[in-house]
Amino acid sequence: MKIAPDDLFLIIDVQNDFCPGGALAVADGDAVVPVVNRLAERFDHVVLTQDWHPAGHSSFATSHPGAAPFSEIAMPYGPQTLWPDHCIQGTAGAAFHPDLATERAELVIRKGFRTAIDSYSAFFENDRKTPTGLAGYLRERGFRRVVMAGLATDYCVQYSALDARRLGFETIVVLSGCRAIDLGGSLAAATTTMREAGVELVKDTV
């Protein structure tokens, strides 16, 4: 894949709580860091997303007495997986992985900061209506293609990729720079859904 000067590299949620030892660790999650860093060096424009929950967030299993982590409940905006408490604002778990190169990021989009609604996508809260502002940022700056990697393939990367396509951006996911949670076959389902939506899935950019 040839990288153009006006392509944007979107790094999704490479944070301590999603890496080994974190509160919601993705298996082998820290393995994306060197891949993402290498990719970021090749782009003129980089944006980061950061999961940023208040304590007691409604997506936490601990906010629903008797509910188990990874179970599912109905919320006003649709089905919601209940997660272990993670990426709480200002904590070490919410910080970017210490080896992630963040210096060249032109923007950091924080998501999930509204207590009553979760946010997987870099573009919208989970109601699929409340915007983060990223789409407007990309359009005002003239970006047409978004290349993304990060954590996790089957949740925040997938939702971000689907929304990018829905909003009219050419979208590429670099799988070597992603890892998945894979709850009940969610990785295979995500891969199929992304392909059907017109997301290009590549192993790497070289």
Asked about 154 being catalytic, the answer comes back as no
What is the predicted pLDDT for the residue at 44? 96
Report whether 127 contacts 75 (CB < 8 A): no
Catalytic one of 17, 85, 111, 154: 111
Catalytic one of 19, 87, 156, 178: 156
Q: How confident is the model at residue 205 (pLDDT cuts 50, 70, 90)?
A: low
- How would DSSP label each residue in the chain? -PPPTT-EEEEE--BGGGSTTSTTPPTTGGGHHHHHHHHHTT-S-EEEEEE-BPTT-TTBGGGSTTPPTT-EEEETTEEEE-B-S--BTTSGGGSBPTTS--TTEEEEEEE--STT----SSSB-TTS-SB-SHHHHHHHHT--EEEEEEE-IIIIIHHHHHHHHHTT-EEEEEEEEEE---STTHHHHHHHHHHHTT-EEES---
Catalytic one of 13, 17, 85, 163: 13
pLDDT > 80? residue 91: yes
Q: How confident is the model at residue 46 (pLDDT cuts 50, 70, 90)?
A: very high
With b for 16 or more beta-carbon neighbours within 10 A and e for fewer, the 96-126 pattern comes to bbeebbeeebebebbbbebeebbbbbbbbbb
Asked about 127 being catalytic, the answer comes back as no
- Over residues 3-38, the pLDDT tens digits come to 999 999 999 999 999 999 999 999 999 999 999 999
Evaluate if pTM is beyond 0.75: yes
What is the predicted pLDDT for the residue at 204? 79
Asked about 44 being catalytic, the answer comes back as no
